[in-house]
Structure 1
Amino acid sequence: MAQLKIRDLYNLLRQAPRRRDLEQDGIRLVYDGTAVNLSTADDPDTVIARASTCGFVTGSWDVTAYKASVDTVMAWMRMLDGEDLVDVAPFWASAPVVLAFATGGQVGVWPVIACPTAPADRRPAAVSEGRAER
């Protein structure tokens, strides 16, 4: 889980390229224990934006989620106080994996395309069936 100020997460997601500018509908978020980095499924090694975390620290994770869902997540965050902390973590109790956002008793979720850090039996089909992933 990564904890960020809602304002910082919002500003990070705002940097995601427009969907029509992507070859694949994927936004990659990588949490390394100190920051969340944003890249795309098309070019996972190029960091577009970075947001430092604050508060509670847990193990790292890596997800690729649907770009098409960014607007919904950002609309949800606009209703919240930007200075509050939001917990962001992949949730894999069952397939498919989702990226969960939790703050003040509210939870939002974002469907995940790939989550290489999830247990093998909980990964989305594209990973667990052995299909290529960038």
Structure 2
Amino acid sequence: MKAGVMLERKKEYATILAFDVKVTTEARELADEMGVKILCADIIYHLFDQFKAYIEDIKDEKKKKESADEAVFPCVLQILPNCVFNKRDPIVLGVDVVEGILKIGTPICVPSREFIDIGRIASIENNHKPVGYAKKGHKVAIQ
């Protein structure tokens, strides 16, 4: 019941870590009803690893939710043919911003090939210096 209070503040802390203890079915059912997560393990390191994985899952879930709600500023890029620095993950290449504003986190696709999704902009560099965005006419390196 006490762990359920944390659902109002931070979902990831509405968790019970049960180390070397049996959890009754009644307690597990109540936790499921309330939305409290119970993690059980006989070895403390396993319990710690389970909790870390649970926190990471919640963070990933939040990121997906936030990225689905955010607005995308459209832009048109022209890949500079002599400036393809890395063809595999992570892709690093030089581009010319033809239209719009390029920002970190902007999704990239290829419209001429059925809008194939390539990924999102992780970083933008102008003259070997990181920048937050690039406007029309700028030539920058992206990753």
* TM band (smaller chain): under 0.3
User: Which has more radius of gyration?
Assistant: 2
Structure having the higher helix fraction is: 2
After TM superposition, the score normalised by the length of structure 2 is: 0.22
Greater relative contact order (Cα 8 A, min sep 6): structure 1 or 2? 1
TM-score for the superposition, normalised by structure 1: 0.23
